């Protein structure tokens, strides 16, 4: 691979890593392996630290393609926990507003999911990187508590609910640029009258790029350090 000229790397992001962490680790490995002081590198779209799955990393001149890649539809698998909400809409913050879920069936949840499919106006989580007066919303939320987020148009191409086990609802989805799966989980909970939050998330696709073709971080670092290494 010619990393300085430009490569597109498919990475399976580990849980607990930020997208910036992945870029920083690969940048350091490339600088050391290539004996250079600077390597241009970037990613095509942030994954939350608690999420795993496909991350597209571009190096060199390939970074010019990131704008196009950011606009591609994205596919996800995950689970939604019913019967509570969290301020972050995921498992990062403690549960609040705990309530009974015995009235919910898979069929009733699927019916509500249909209401969230298609072109919708979605309100992003307050704990997000969207700028409010030039400051990331999550920083404003941590300093001031609740803040108002404006709805924006997104397209939910698919929102399929597969199985309900206790409070855990498994799903898959394909969505447009700018969609927050955390908000999708939260909105489903509101329609069900129980509250809900995203309990796990794995990105499976970005456009035609697929998770099954991605390298783990360990595999990618081994290839960088020893170009003869194969997946």
Spatial CA neighbour of 174 closest among 75, 87, 53: 75
Residue 129 included in any domain: yes
Same domain, 92 and 187: yes
Same domain, 31 and 124: no
Spatial CA neighbour of 79 closest among 188, 195, 201: 201
Give the model confidence (pLDDT) of 4-49 as tens digits: 999 999 999 999 999 999 999 999 999 999 999 999 999 998 898 9
Give the model confidence (pLDDT) of 197-213 as tens digits: 999 999 999 999 999 99
The enclosing domain of 137 has a CATH number of 3.30.2350.10
Residue 13 included in any domain: yes
Count: domains in the chain:
2
Same domain, 117 and 90: yes
For 219, phi and psi rounded to 5 degrees? -65, -45
Residue 33 included in any domain: yes
Residue 1 included in any domain: no
Residue 219 included in any domain: yes
Domain holding 94, by residue range, is: 74-206
Report how far residue 152's alpha carbon sits from residue 178's, in angstroms, rounded to the nearest whole number: 9
The catalytic residues are 48
Spatial CA neighbour of 43 closest among 25, 19, 24: 19
- pTM of the full predicted structure? 0.91
Same domain, 111 and 127: yes
% of the chain beyond a pLDDT of 70: 98
Residue 157 included in any domain: yes
Task: Specify the pLDDT at position 130.
Answer: 78
Residue 2 included in any domain: no
């Amino acid at each position: 691979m010619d990393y300085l000229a430009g490569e597109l790397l498919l990475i399976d992001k580990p849980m607990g890593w930020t997208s910036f962490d992945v870029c920083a680790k690969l940048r350091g490995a490339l600088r050391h392996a290539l004996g250079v002081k600077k390597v241009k590198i970037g990613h095509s779209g942030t994954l939350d630290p608690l999420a795993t799955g496909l991350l597209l990393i571009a190096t060199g001149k390939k970074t010019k393609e990131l704008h196009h890649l950011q606009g591609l539809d994205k596919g996800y698998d995950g689970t939604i926990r019913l019967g509570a909400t969290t301020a972050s809409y995921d498992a990062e913050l403690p549960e609040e507003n705990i309530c009974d879920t015995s009235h919910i069936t898979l069929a009733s949840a699927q019916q509500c999911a249909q209401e969230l499919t298609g072109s919708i106006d979605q309100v992003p989580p307050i704990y997000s990187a969207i700028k409010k007066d030039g400051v990331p919303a999550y920083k404003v939320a941590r300093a001031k508590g609740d803040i108002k987020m404006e709805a924006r148009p997104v397209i939910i191409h698919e929102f399929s609910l597969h199985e309900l086990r206790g409070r855990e609802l498994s799903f898959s989805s394909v969505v447009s640029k700018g969609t927050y799966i955390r908000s999708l989980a939260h909105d489903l909970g509101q329609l069900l009258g129980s509250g809900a939050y995203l309990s796990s998330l794995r990105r499976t696709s970005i456009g035609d790029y697929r998770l099954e073709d991605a390298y783990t971080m360990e595999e990618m670092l081994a290839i960088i350090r020893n170009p003869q290494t194969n997946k």
